[in-house]
Structure 1
Amino acid sequence: MKLKLVALGFCLSTMAMAQQDDLNDRSKKYYDIVQSGTKEQKDALHKELLETAKKSKIEGELELSINYLNQLGYEESADSLRNIVVKQMPKSNVAKQHYITNVFLKQDGAAAKEKSYKELIKKWPIPEGDVIKVGYDYLISNVAHDYAKEGNTGKAIQYLDQLNERFWRGQGYAPVTRILLNKGDTTTVIPFLKVAIKDAEYYINLPKEQQDNRAGFAAVGYPGYVAQLVNIYNAQGNYEEALALIEEAITLVPDQAPQFSGAYYKGLDVAGRKLEALQQLEILYKQGTFSYKEKMKSLYSELNGVETGFDGYIARLDQDVTKGVREHIAKSAQYKPAPQFELLNLKGEVVSLASLKGKVVVLDFWATWCQPCIRSFPGMKAAQESYQADPEVEFLFINTWERDKEYKANVASFLEKNDYPFEVLFDDQKNAETGKNLAAEMGVNGIPAKFILDKEGNIRYALTGSSPNVDYIKIEMKELIDSAKKPHKG
């Protein structure tokens, strides 16, 4: 009997593996169609997904259908199917995600969030064994964040101590440590930063053959953890320990050394290593951080005995900055017609690309939840203001990929709160022929994404990501716009 049960278990396991392989193959096929398929292929996929949804009782198939219906732009069909799955399979992964989105995340207050979390893990227990549990860690960190925000540090720590995944632990700590640092509570924060640093170093030091996505993820946050702890040590006057920590980090990840420059120069300066301190400030300057110019002048004078020559030194650095920006934007150069569009602005007025012929147009794709987008906005505001008197230049901020149904009200509130005088267009209209919104037609795969169009409506540059440095963005936008004003050389 035992042998039969083992054989049955093996058989079921084999079937499950085959089923997963089939789903993976289908997912790849669906992804390719969504990304680059014809309208006919997408229409056929839509019908296939609906047929699968009608017949299937397999959760993985239904979840796949929901995901790709959303990606095809059939949100109502996806929502309808999701509601059916939630009702018929109340303990499914689809039902769990529905609970997280519509119940857990909408709780007001830490106590309510905690109660919702406990109800969630009662219905969907945290799995045991070697299963990645980062989804649960995200929820745990969310509860801890709300308690920290309310000033209940003890409860926040209690939840942070429950995090499961070592590779993600530093990211789970981060929302709470930011709140505590803003309150000046470095005593509580330091142990968490030390743990985050040790976790990241553990993965960074793994042999190459053992490094996987978890190791890469852990390493991403490493410079930030080190910089935070170094800044605390510097503020406490513990300069030697700060300097030792940062130099160890640079030795471990030399390719990320420029990310440490802001904290590194302070320790070097205090240690009397003036030339090295100035060299770190040069790195920051070339990245577009010009706020240290007076400190650079002071170090330059100390090293040379006089201020004479400093202006020429800065002028040479400015040339390097401009050269670096030009090399950077040259990699994003292209030349092709931009898709025609007609989108509504905040006032409900239609703005079309055709109406902007004769102008260089900057399209900035963003969303209210996108922190890199928001960090770039002070620089984009400054860049827009520098072209305020130029009738040949138009900045348009394309709001896309929003997750909240009240996105229009949220956008208006966000702009008013931050005093951003942006012309926002809502990317919620689909092209009748392609079935795509503008972001998809432009090939946007991540935001922030910026496109510079020339006066004839051709895309001249396409960039993803952005610097948070205001002065760098101003220089970058000037180079992009001035280049787009010139005829294409072919």
Structure 2
Amino acid sequence: MKTTILIIALTFALANVMAQKASGDKFQKYLPIIEKGSIAQKDSLTNVLLTEIKSYKTEQEFRTTINILRSLGKEQQQASVEAIAKKKYPKGSLTRDAFITNVFYNASTVQEKEKAYNDLNKKWPSKNFSEELLTYDYVLANLAQGFANDGNAPKAIHYLGEMKEKFWRGNGYLPVGQILLSAGDTVTAAPILKTAMDDSYYYLSLPEDQKDNKARFASMGYASSMSAYVNILVAQKKYNDALGYIENALKAAPEQADGLAMVYYKSLMGTGRKLEAYNILTKLYAKGQFAVENDLKKLYLELNGSAQGYENFNASLKETLTQTIRDHIKEMATFKPAPNFELLNLKGEKVSLASLKGKVVILDFWATWCQPCVRSFPGMKAAQESYANDKDVQFLFMNTWERDKNYKENVLSFITKNNYPFEVLYDDQKDPQTGEVMAAKFGVKGIPAKFIIDKEGNIRYFLTGSTPNVDYIKLEMKELIEAAKKPFKG
């Protein structure tokens, strides 16, 4: 009997893998039309898919077609296929996901969320979706954070304990630990943060040939969880313990040195290793983290016995950083006409690129769900404010790829709540020939994506990625803008 059950389980798992592969193959098959097809080609593909659904035998086939229709921008047809699939599979993943989105995430209190979670487990128990446990971990992490914010640490810990995917659970543990830490509950926060740190270290220390995408994702959180946990040790003046963790981390993941720099500095100071601490601050300052300047100057004075020579030293660090940025932006240089656009801003007014001729324009493509985009906004705000009196410079924040139907309200709420003085444009106007939004016309493959356009309407620089370093962003934007003001030399 056990052998029969095992065979059935293995057969099911293999069938699931094969179904997912077939789904991916089908999406890849139509990718050229999705990305570069004409309206006629996209319409034709839509008709083919709508005809096919009559023969579908599994929910996965429906999901694949729904994803393709979503990528084609066929929202009405997508909704129609979703309705058919939900009716055919009332206890399937589509109805489950709709419940999570519409009931769980829209609950106004953590008690309502807890009830929704219990209802979720009754109708769509995780044991029926063994390949999708991450979906349940997202819910558990959100629920745990809700209880942590309510000051109910026992409930938060309980729901964290129900998470199943070890590679991802640090993403639930870390925010809860930080919430408890900010509330002064160090005793409860410490083991939570240590769990997140240990999980990340486990994946980080795997041999390279065993590091899959999950392991790489998990290891990325090491610096954050390490810093949070070691900061507790530093606050408790356990500097040697802190240094042990940090120096072990730097051997295993030297690329995360920047993320650990401040807590390393504090630990070194606590053990009297001031010269090493000074060297760390010097590196941070030379990378544009000017917030450390007071500590740097104080250490300079202690180590040298006077402030003589400090100003020259400081200036040389800034000059080195500026030169580094200038060398870096050469890699971003390009020269081609920018696609023209006419889009609506938050007030419903039309803004076109043509109307801004004679100005250097900074386009920042972003979305509310994009954490790297949002992470760079304090720096972009500072950069914009530094050019507030320059009438020849215009910042535009191109909101694109939003996922919710009420995205306009969400965007306005986000900008207002965070008091960002940005000129935001909605990139939601599809080209009648290609069906593309402006991000696609600019060649954007991922966000954040920034374009620096000169006074003649030519793209001079294109950059991706982000940093939370406000001072670095200010300097980088200054170099990009000032370079774009100058005539193109080829």
- Offset at 1:128? 7.9
Q: Deviations over 1:194-249 (max 9, x none)?
A: 11222222222222222212211110100111111121221222222112211111
- Offset at 1:448? 2.1
Do the aligned partners of residues 416 and 341 (structure 1) sit closer, same or farther apart at CA in structure 2, a change above 3 Å counting? same
Residues 46 and 69 of structure 2 are in contact (CA less than 8 Å); yes or no, is this contact kept in structure 1? yes
Alignment of 1:62 onto 2:65: no
Give, in whole Å, the separation in 1 of the partners of 2:9 and 2:262: 57
Alignment of 1:122 onto 2:122: yes
Q: What percent identity do the matched residue pairs reach?
A: 52
Do the aligned partners of residues 338 and 129 (structure 1) sit closer, same or farther apart at CA in structure 2, a change above 3 Å counting? closer
Structure 2 counterpart of 1:408: 408
- The amino acid of 1:381's aligned partner reads K
- The amino acid of 1:163's aligned partner reads M
Structure 1 counterpart of 2:47: 47
Do the aligned partners of residues 10 and 106 (structure 1) sit closer, same or farther apart at CA in structure 2, a change above 3 Å counting? closer
Residues 86 and 98 of structure 1 are in contact (CA less than 8 Å); yes or no, is this contact kept in structure 2? no
- Offset at 1:11? 8.9
Structure 1 counterpart of 2:209: 209
Structure 1 counterpart of 2:269: 269
Structure 2 counterpart of 1:453: 453
Give, in whole Å, the separation in 2 of the partners of 1:468 and 1:15: 44
Alignment of 1:143 onto 2:143: yes
Do the aligned partners of residues 170 and 7 (structure 1) sit closer, same or farther apart at CA in structure 2, a change above 3 Å counting? closer
Do the aligned partners of residues 43 and 287 (structure 1) sit closer, same or farther apart at CA in structure 2, a change above 3 Å counting? farther
- Offset at 1:43? 3.3
Structure 2 counterpart of 1:482: 482
- The amino acid of 2:317's aligned partner reads L
Structure 2 counterpart of 1:330: 330
- Offset at 1:337? 2.0
- Offset at 1:474? 0.9
Give, in whole Å, the separation in 2 of the partners of 1:37 and 1:158: 50
- Offset at 1:173? 0.8
Alignment of 1:31 onto 2:46: no
Residue-pair matches, total: 490
- The amino acid of 1:460's aligned partner reads R
Give, in whole Å, the separation in 2 of the partners of 1:66 and 1:44: 16
- The amino acid of 1:406's aligned partner reads N
Range with bigger deviation, 409-418 or 88-97: 409-418
Q: Deviations over 1:33-73 (max 9, x none)?
A: 32344444433323322222354343222111111111111
Residues 38 and 433 of structure 2 are in contact (CA less than 8 Å); yes or no, is this contact kept in structure 1? no
Give, in whole Å, the separation in 1 of the partners of 2:9 and 2:467: 54
Residues 52 and 65 of structure 1 are in contact (CA less than 8 Å); yes or no, is this contact kept in structure 2? no
Give, in whole Å, the separation in 2 of the partners of 1:188 and 1:147: 13
| Superposition pairs of residues 153-232 of structure 1, within 5 angstroms | 153-232=153-232
Structure 2 counterpart of 1:234: 234
Do the aligned partners of residues 157 and 41 (structure 1) sit closer, same or farther apart at CA in structure 2, a change above 3 Å counting? same
Structure 2 counterpart of 1:347: 347
Give, in whole Å, the separation in 2 of the partners of 1:191 and 1:11: 40
Do the aligned partners of residues 266 and 17 (structure 1) sit closer, same or farther apart at CA in structure 2, a change above 3 Å counting? closer
Structure 1 counterpart of 2:284: 284
- The amino acid of 1:292's aligned partner reads V
Give, in whole Å, the separation in 1 of the partners of 2:107 and 2:16: 36
- Offset at 1:418? 2.5
SS of aligned partner of 2:126: coil
Give, in whole Å, the separation in 2 of the partners of 1:439 and 1:325: 26
- Offset at 1:488? 2.0
- Offset at 1:175? 2.4
- Offset at 1:383? 1.1
Give, in whole Å, the separation in 1 of the partners of 2:97 and 2:327: 44
- The amino acid of 1:485's aligned partner reads K
- The amino acid of 1:45's aligned partner reads L
Structure 2 counterpart of 1:375: 375
Structure 1 counterpart of 2:246: 246
Question: So what's the TM-score if we normalise by structure 2?
Answer: 0.93
Residues 52 and 62 of structure 1 are in contact (CA less than 8 Å); yes or no, is this contact kept in structure 2? no
Do the aligned partners of residues 16 and 84 (structure 1) sit closer, same or farther apart at CA in structure 2, a change above 3 Å counting? same
- The amino acid of 1:429's aligned partner reads Q
Q: Deviations over 1:80-127 (max 9, x none)?
A: 221221122112222222221122211121121111112212222223
Residues 261 and 283 of structure 1 are in contact (CA less than 8 Å); yes or no, is this contact kept in structure 2? no
Structure 1 counterpart of 2:387: 387
Do the aligned partners of residues 45 and 272 (structure 1) sit closer, same or farther apart at CA in structure 2, a change above 3 Å counting? same
- Offset at 1:9? 9.8
Give, in whole Å, the separation in 1 of the partners of 2:287 and 2:5: 64
| Structure 1 vs Structure 2 CA RMSD | 2.6
Structure 1 counterpart of 2:422: 422
Q: Deviations over 1:371-399 (max 9, x none)?
A: 33223222212211221222211111111
Alignment of 1:86 onto 2:86: yes
Q: Deviations over 1:290-320 (max 9, x none)?
A: 0111211111122222211111111111111
Range with bigger deviation, 369-378 or 96-105: 369-378
What stretches of structure 2 of length at least 5 have no aligned partner? Answer: none
- The amino acid of 1:237's aligned partner reads K
Do the aligned partners of residues 427 and 413 (structure 1) sit closer, same or farther apart at CA in structure 2, a change above 3 Å counting? same
Give, in whole Å, the separation in 1 of the partners of 2:370 and 2:15: 41
SS of aligned partner of 2:125: coil
- Offset at 1:16? 6.5
Residues 59 and 92 of structure 1 are in contact (CA less than 8 Å); yes or no, is this contact kept in structure 2? yes
- The amino acid of 1:268's aligned partner reads L
Give, in whole Å, the separation in 2 of the partners of 1:160 and 1:22: 34
Question: So what's the TM-score if we normalise by structure 1?
Answer: 0.93
Do the aligned partners of residues 201 and 49 (structure 1) sit closer, same or farther apart at CA in structure 2, a change above 3 Å counting? same
Give, in whole Å, the separation in 2 of the partners of 1:217 and 1:5: 34
Do the aligned partners of residues 16 and 276 (structure 1) sit closer, same or farther apart at CA in structure 2, a change above 3 Å counting? closer
SS of aligned partner of 1:447: coil
